[in-house]
Amino acid sequence: MAFAFGLAGARARPLQDLLHGVWLGHPLHPVITDIPVGAWTAALMLDTVDMVAPRPAGFRQAAQLSVGLGVVGGIGGALTGVTDWQHTHDDARRAGMLHGVLNTVALSLYGFSWRDRHRGRHGRARVASTLGYGLTIASSYVGGRLVFRHRVGVDHVDGRLTPRDFVPVLLDSKLPEDSPTLVDCSGVPVVLIRHEGRISALGGHCPHLGAPMVEGWLYRGQFVCPWHGSRFDLQTGAATSGPATSPLSCFQTRLREEQIEIRRIPPAQLATTGQTATTEGAQGHES
């Protein structure tokens, strides 16, 4: 799989980021999967109505269109799903495999169904799509379990909005350049990074699967997750490259009496206040 994406060359990472949904701020996969589930539900209803009380050909055409739309959406779901799946672990990986296999069979059945409809063999086509529908529903259940039980695609960052007010966490002189340093802020793990004269304070756990970010490193001015190589903006914590799609928690920093002080920036404000202290004594944003 690594080799398959490797074949995309320099476009491999942008392509995966697109499929993960980094640009969207949350996984793209569940957005796309609504298309096949919705379209195939519509097809099933159209088929049922047409069978109970045969209508003019318009219903059959509509059903065929719905099946086709679902197949296109299903391919999108498969591409985004497999991209996310490659970065899962253990039980989630096994459940994801089951989800993928069931969906691939369902998608194939709908593919056959579309071809049969195209050739006018509506009876056989309806059997295939009804079987496919059952599999889709079973597989959607597994997909739901992947999220709600295995927490795949769920934001793993610590959501506590503490500390609300600036608290000192480390002596300014104790923070080396470009070397992520873990501080404990009343139970909240925070990673401090001094890079090119600015101090950033970001959450201690990766939003993707909760990796300990203090073991991460810097690459082209971005903070890299040690497990799957997600990248984050130092100023805002925003994910710039996947598999992570949501931001690291982000803290404001300032210097007071040789001490680095931090306070949590509420996520909703992030867009306007990505403030960080500079070592030149220009202090961070104050309320």
Partner 1 sequence: MKADQVLIEHHDVLRGLLKQLEATTDDQGKKRQKLLDSLVSELGVHVRIEDELFYPAVEKVTPLLAISQAEHRAIDDQLAVVLRTDTGGPDFATEVKMLAATLDHHAGEEERVMFPQSHALGEAALESLGTQMEARKKQLERSRFTQLLRSAKREVLRRV
Which amino acid belongs to residue 143? G
| Rounded Cα–Cα distance for residues 274 and 257 (Å) | 23
Q: Which of 122, 145, 198, 228 binds partner 1 (CB under 8 A)?
A: 228
Q: Is 64 helix (H, G, I), strand (E, B) or coil?
A: helix
Binding mask 11-50 toward partner 1 (x if CB under 8 A, else -) reads -xx-------------------------------------
Report the first-to-last Cα separation within the chain, whole angstroms.
49
93 lies in the binding site for partner 1 (CB under 8 A)? yes
What are residue 192's DSSP bridge partners? 181, 201
Q: In the complex with partner 1, which residue's Cβ is closer, 9 or 281?
A: 9
224 lies in the binding site for partner 1 (CB under 8 A)? yes
Q: Which of 20, 29, 60, 87 binds partner 1 (CB under 8 A)?
A: 87
156 lies in the binding site for partner 1 (CB under 8 A)? no
What is the DSSP code (8-state) at residue 176? Answer: -
CB of 88 to partner 1, least distance (A): 8
Smallest CA-to-CA distance from 269 within 241, 255, 250, 248 is with 250
Strand order in the sheet with 222-224: 217-219, 222-224, 231-233, 239-241
Query: Which H or E run includes 200?
Result: strand 198-203
Binding mask 198-217 toward partner 1 (x if CB under 8 A, else -) reads -------------x---x-x
CB of 151 to partner 1, least distance (A): 14
Binding residues (CB under 8 A) for partner 1: these are: 2-3, 5-10, 12-13, 86-87, 89-90, 93, 211, 215, 217, 219-220, 224, 226-229
